[in-house]
Amino acid sequence: MADQKIIGRTGPGAPPSPIAKSDDVAMHAGDVETAPAHAPHPVGFIRQTELVERVRAYDPDADENILNRAYVFAMKAHGGQVRKSGDPYFSHPLAVAAILTELRADPATVVTALLHDVVEDTEHTVGDIEKAFGAEIARLVDGVTKLSQFELPEGASKQAENFRKFVVAMADDVRVLLVKLADRLHNMRTLHHFDKAEKRRRIALETMEIYAPLAGRIGVQRFREELEDISFRELSADAHETISRRLSELQTHSVSSVVEVANTLRARLAAEDIRAQVTSREKRPYSIWRKMTHKNVSFDELADIYAFRVLVDEEADCYRALGVIHRAWRMIPSEFDDYISAPKSNNYRSIHTAVIGPPWADGRRQKIEIQIRTHDMHETAERGVAAHWQYKDPGENGQGIEIVAAGQFDPYETPRRLVEMYQAGDDPDEALRYAKLELFQDQIFCFTPKSRVIALPKGSTALDFAYAVHTDVGDSCIGAKINSVQRPLRTPLETGDVVRVLRSENAPVPAEWESIAVTGRARSAIRRRIKKMQRDEHLALGRSIAESVFTGAHLQFSLKGVRASLRKLGKKSVEDVMVCVGRGDLPVSELIEAVYPGASATTEGEIRPASLQSFKPRVAIAGLTPGVSVAMAPCCTPLPGERIVGIRADDGAIRVHTIYCETLAAEDPPQSRWLDLKWRDHEEEDVSAFARVTITVQNGVGVLSEVAGIIARYGVSVAAVRLVNRSREFLDMLMDVEVKDAKQLSQMLAGVRAAPSVIKAERSGSKEDEEL
């Protein structure tokens, strides 16, 4: 969709307009029409014949018929629609098509550009496009239409969700993205026609964060540079104006020096029988501003405003030319990069070097940046993915085009990587943040032991490398050797590093891995695996808790009974129920009530009829009148072996406290209500009681299972568990456990404290635990 809102809507049956006929525009093969001679043309308007000539200049076998028909179809379809500028709306798709001819895009892509807004902004459908132009064009137009529908709206949550759909849509055919980038480029060129500064700024920011980096990732550098510069002009107008003015001033003093350096380069290369084309270029304002910001220097301190490019015939000539340049001037080692031997992921290949050149007109020796590449490499550098189309007969495979990858270049790598990231995560907002990180950051290039190139954002670690090779490699990673030396997984990588990933089938996933990883792909994969392992852990723990509480309530636990209660519980599967129990989201009392209506469990784990407010304890207490109602105070949960006291309520019921209970001390009931109680000898009786404990552990996969295993070894059952105060580093577990007496609880807590992952383990609601 064009960013500039159109006025009017036309299509079959719509009233005639100054540049559209009222007859049906659906045409068939052989029906070549010519645009009306009286149609008004805005400045820069490309005529039908000129567009066809542009395409045939680089593809003599291009189907002239389909180009002509698409031109007329789009012009008639858009009819009287106009842009914010006042130009006929058709000038926009025509300009997009012209931009793509500069990249020498295949004819299908050019036709798609002409038709890219027809389905969205007129009455025509994808079916109409397929009928007139075939399935391939219809598929591409439909893809661009979907991309337009998923452009980022205002509001973070809507942005994140729409960007997810945007990524999925562009991953099907990279030509769809190519048309969308050309569409955005033309809209940015005409952005000044919007009156509202806020809208211009929003569009410019979106372009800077999404579209410009995407253009760079598929190698279309000319798109990226222009999109960045226009966005920069809108977002930082003062900075753009200042740098542009300084560049103009610099040109008046530097032109002669630039020409002299270029001539010197040509002469020295010619002297070594190297045929070379030498050109110079001035960096764009945004590129200069970015370098000033990153290096924290002023404009006057920059010594590489101008760069030179040397184009040669053969790859071997690149290295010969490099030798000539380095013999002539002193090179700067930190500025040297060989992207011929180690191409970038978008197949960019070139040698970059910098030297201290000859004195300029002002007598100073300037640092000179020089790029050396072949003409073929230059084509790829300028046109990116568009340089890899191989033209063929449309009937051969039904699509009329195929991608020819040079080296290991995959134009779908970035879209696929972003899709993987979204598929692995549940949070679209977080995925959007990491997607921007992936797109924005500069890249490094590392190698597997078999010399496969792995491109990563700068600052990536060995762990990121493992996940970039394959998710399975990352999941099974236990270490890494960098340049044959074993290093920690958190070690940052540099271009040229050879990384061997050490693997194990039972590799753990420490919680800190997510903080070590830099790339969105690695973070998403780690998060996904941790969630799965935690789910498995909660599943096992939940089932153990449920079985224990059901048994204590003298109720049969069966998966069949739980399955029959799924609707009551609002869950989709028995597994979901057990996970919720293990995670503490579903009290076992609710599960019992759902499976056995009329029975439930108190928060302390005491099984009782749902209608009663007290229970008959499973432990023997001396000093009670037979038949009296007794309840254990939840504030201190007394256990056999502890000193206890009873408090008589107005209704005669007895509440049992420990003598150390803070709540009892605060309430200070009159002495007439106090009862002197003690535990009877229970060694020969089947007795138990429930206690609540708080355990603080290091947050990590397997910790819950480890703690539950220690508790089980002491013959203690977990009745309920709730996870609270969860952070990236630590986790508090609130547990209700069933024990015989205070001594067993004390021994169990001591065993839990001995575990390496446990920070603290103590009883909740009683001071006496420390004295036992």
Amino acid in position 153: P
For residues 703-741, one letter each, b for 16 or more C-beta atoms within 10 angstroms of the residue's C-beta and e for the rest, the string is bbbbbbebbeebebbbbbbebeeeeeeebbbbbbbbbbb
Contact 295, 326 (CB under 8 A): no
| Beta bridge mates, 761 | 695
Residue 263 CB-half CA count within 13 A: 6
Query: How far apart, in whole angstroms, are the C-alpha atoms of residue 45 and residue 167?
Result: 32
Q: Quote the tokens at residue 459.
A: 């600052």
Distance CA(453)–CA(119), nearest Å, equals 41
CA dihedral 606, 612, 616, 622 (to 10 degrees): 110
Q: Which of 407, 337, 422, 329 is nearest to 372 (CA)?
A: 337
* Strand 365-374 to 389-391 pairing: unpaired
H/E/C letters for each residue in 10-56?
CCCCCCCECCECCCCCCCCCCCCCCCCCCCCCCCCCCCHHHHHHHHH
CA distance 510 to 508: 6
- The structure tokens listed for 142 are 């439909």
Query: Which pair of tokens denotes residue 48?
Result: 């039908």
Q: How many CA atoms lie within 13 A of 499 on its CB side?
A: 37
Q: Which stretches of 441-519 are DSSP H helices?
A: 462-469, 471-475, 513-516
Using an 8 Å Cβ cutoff, are 456 and 491 in contact? no
Contact 22, 15 (CB under 8 A): yes
Q: Which helix (H) or strand (E) holds 9?
A: none
Establish how many alpha carbons lie within 13 A of residue 405's alpha carbon, considering only the half-sphere containing its beta carbon.
11
**The amino acid at 362:** D
Which one from 3, 63, 121, 161 is the annotated catalytic residue? 121
Catalytic residue among 33, 53, 120, 575: 120
Q: Would you state the structure tokens that stand for residue 232, as one six-digit string?
A: 């920069």
Alpha-carbon separation of residue 551 from 493, 555, 618 (angstroms): 55, 6, 14
652-676 as b/e, with b when 16 or more CB fall inside 10 Å? eebbbbbebbeebeeeeeeeeeebe
Positions of E strands within 136-226: none
CB-based contact 39:1 (threshold 8 Å): no
Query: In the chain, what is the straight-line distance between the N-terminal and C-terminal CA atoms, in Å?
Result: 74
**Antiparallel, parallel or unpaired: β 689-698 and 654-658:** unpaired
Tokens of 263: 């001539």
Alpha-carbon span 107 to 105, nearest angstrom: 7
Amino acid in position 168: V
Query: Would you call 121 a catalytic residue per the annotation?
Result: yes
Active site amino acids: 120-121
